[in-house]
Amino acid sequence: MHTVTLIPGDGIGPSIAEVAVRVIEAAGVTIQWERVDAGMTAIDKFKDPLPEHVLESIRRTRVALKGPLTTPVGSGFRSVNVALRKEFDLYSNVRPARSFEGVPSRYRDIDLIIVRENTEEFYAGIEHYIDPSRSAAETIGVVTRSGSERIVRYAYEYARRHGRKKVTTVHKANILKYTGGLFLEVSRSVGAEYPDIGTEDKIVDNMAMQMVINPHQFDVIVTTNLFGDILSDLASGLVGGLGLAPGANIGYSAAIFEAVHGSAPDIAGKNLANPAAIILAGVLMLRHLNETAAADRIQEAVASVLREGKCVTGDLKPAVPVGTTEMGAEIIRKLT
């Protein structure tokens, strides 16, 4: 039996998280879920977007499944997602983008892994207006040698463990000569320690174009925080959209699994959201918990529902879309 912290999130979060819980239970894994609220829901209840009992739960369970959390744009509280990554030093954000048969998308047979540095650079929230009249603002993006080394090493170790052939480092070292330059320098020196894995680097703007015109040339991609954020949404677009893209935030003492997508306020409360991304995040979580057989079964159940294409949500453009709960029920039916 495992104990896992469950943060249902807000927007579409609670409905898709609930489906993921039911799917994991249907696969026969016994999990004691510690349900806790963060973000807007926690502000309503506790006047604090990240209450101490949430942190205490994750400290104890060391594993969490998380629905998306809304971050107010421009003002309001800072991102709880980012705060969690910092609090638990979840330095590695692993975001696979894989094609599923039956899903309408521009390409077939995409199998990319984006390894995004998750704690440094522009996401660290070191920013302020430079004067009281707010005539200008600055954000400080700090890139460290140790932070770069551990994420690049994670990418190469991941490649080795999973039989991957190549790691592409993405940077902007031509313009950001210090932060980008440091990341690239570290990446080249770590890469030299892995002669069995191919190594290359690309400037981020070219990379975005290359991923659109010829994504099959890439395998494992490692990059800094903001570029990783943007390129992983791009990668999800190559395989059918955000509804299918899971992510894992991994640190030394804890791991938090979530969908790449956000709280989708435009479709919240309408039973329209695709639950597959968070279910696939649950699959990553089960692999982390060494529940490999259950993970494989759920992966196959999701693949089978997508392949048939009859019981899927509207984002996947079926002739007749079904709702979040109905798609979840069909995945469970495949498991039982």
Q: Which residues bind ligand NAD (CB under 6 A)?
A: 12, 68-71, 81, 242-243, 258, 261-267, 273-274, 277, 315
Choose between 98 and 261: whose C-beta lies nearer to ligand NAD: 261
Mark whether 166 is an active-site residue: no
CA pair distance 36, 19, nearest whole angstrom:
17
DSSP character string of 52-121: HHHHHHHHHH-EEEE------SSSSSPPHHHHHHHHTT--EEEEEEE--TTS--S-SS-EEEEEEE-SSB
At its nearest, how many Å lie between ligand NAD and the CB of residue 273?
4
Q: Of the listed 156, 158, 172, 201, which one is catalytic? A: 172
Residues in the chain: 336
Mark whether 172 is an active-site residue: yes
Choose between 77 and 194: whose C-beta lies nearer to ligand NAD: 77
In 3D space, the residue among 123, 66, 316, 113 whose CA is nearest the CA of residue 232 turns out to be 113
Do strands 246-250 and 255-259 pair parallel, antiparallel, or not at all (unpaired)? antiparallel
Q: Of the listed 229, 233, 315, 334, which one is catalytic? A: 229
At its nearest, how many Å lie between ligand NAD and the CB of residue 299?
17
Choose between 93 and 187: whose C-beta lies nearer to ligand NAD: 93
CA pair distance 26, 330, nearest whole angstrom:
12
Mark whether 44 is an active-site residue: no
At its nearest, how many Å lie between ligand NAD and the CB of residue 169?
24
Mark whether 123 is an active-site residue: yes
Choose between 13 and 147: whose C-beta lies nearer to ligand NAD: 13
Q: Of the listed 44, 48, 109, 205, which one is catalytic? A: 205
At its nearest, how many Å lie between ligand NAD and the CB of residue 16?
6
At its nearest, how many Å lie between ligand NAD and the CB of residue 317?
11
CA pair distance 145, 90, nearest whole angstrom:
17
* Exposure letters 315-328 (e unless 16+ CB within 10 A, then b): bbebeebbbbeebb
Choose between 167 and 301: whose C-beta lies nearer to ligand NAD: 301
Catalytic site residues? Answer: 123, 172, 205, 229
